[in-house]
Amino acid sequence: MEVTTKQFKRCDLVKTVGRVDSNTAPELAEAFAAINEADRYRIVFDMSEVDFISSAGLRVLINTQKTCKRWNRGELVLVCVPERIMGALDLAGFVPLFKFYDDVVEAVGAF
Amino acid sequence: MCCRFLSTSGWESIQFCPWLFVCLYMNDSQTRTFPGRFDSLADIGRFVCQAAEAAGLDERAVYAVQMAVDEACSNIIEHAYGGEGQGTIVCTCQVSDGALTVILRDQGRPFDPSGVPEPDLDAELRDRAGGGLGLYFMRQLMDEVHFVFVPGSGNVLTMVKRSTARESAE
């Protein structure tokens, strides 16, 4: 799995390629944590090339969302979520907890 | 039956005819042992996906199997073994017409599913723990989930996924 982070003026864009499972989820968690440690809490997560996500990955998303939303300082939004992964999010009851976008530019612009 | 005969002739013959590969899998069982490490999850995923496809499951069902097995194996490593590198996971895939049975065996601590709380799927963000999701997914995604602990041996987890309404051949 590869994780890349790109900083924009008002938010950070994180992209992951590959599987997010118990093996790779810590790396994703670190990428989000690094952004939070820089006192930044508006994150766009591009999931277009995530081909698998387990509950370990979903836990990273929920923990990051909790951190970002604290004191209304920001949030984590999800972009280009593949259909099957949307199914997993739905099964976990996570859909109401995030904003979803179909386009990275739109998501970044919304901040 | 040709597949019984071919199964003795080795894997080399398979690469020339994908149909033979499917034939070998029909009503067949494959077992592989994986190290109890998180970096085995991708290999385990590939192994069960191939079996799920051979069982004739559709794409959605194949993904469901992959997810359920990933959750189960992660739990084995984390809870039955208490961490990576403590034991192996023996995975058996039994393919029959329209159904896949996956059996996962470990030599770890007994697992009692009744001890795992159900996740609260309607809780506010701040109350979401994320725990218990793995077991919940397994039960939602698979048609059957059975846990047995065999003293002196370990846990045996059996999961079954069946095809939904099978289309006629035409």
Residues B60-109: tens digit of each pLDDT: 999 999 999 999 999 999 999 999 999 999 999 999 878 999 999 999 99
Contacts B126 to A, Cβ<8 Å? 66
* Closest by Cβ to B70, choosing from A54, A65, A97: A54
Minimum distance, in Å, between the CA of residue B50 and any CA atom of chain A: 16
CATH number (domain holding residue A83):
3.30.750.24
Q: How far apart are the first and last CA of chain A?
A: 27
Strand locations in chain B, DSSP E?
28-35, 88-96, 99-105, 144-150, 154-162
Q: Which two tokens stand for residue B48?
A: 């069960």
Let me know if residue A45 belongs to a domain.
Answer: yes
Q: How many domains does chain B divide into?
A: 1
For A23-80, the pLDDT digits (tens) are: 999 999 999 999 999 999 999 999 999 999 999 999 999 999 999 999 999 999 999 9
SS3 category, B145: strand
Q: How many domains does chain A divide into?
A: 1
**pTM flag (> 0.90):** no
CATH number (domain holding residue B91):
3.30.565.10
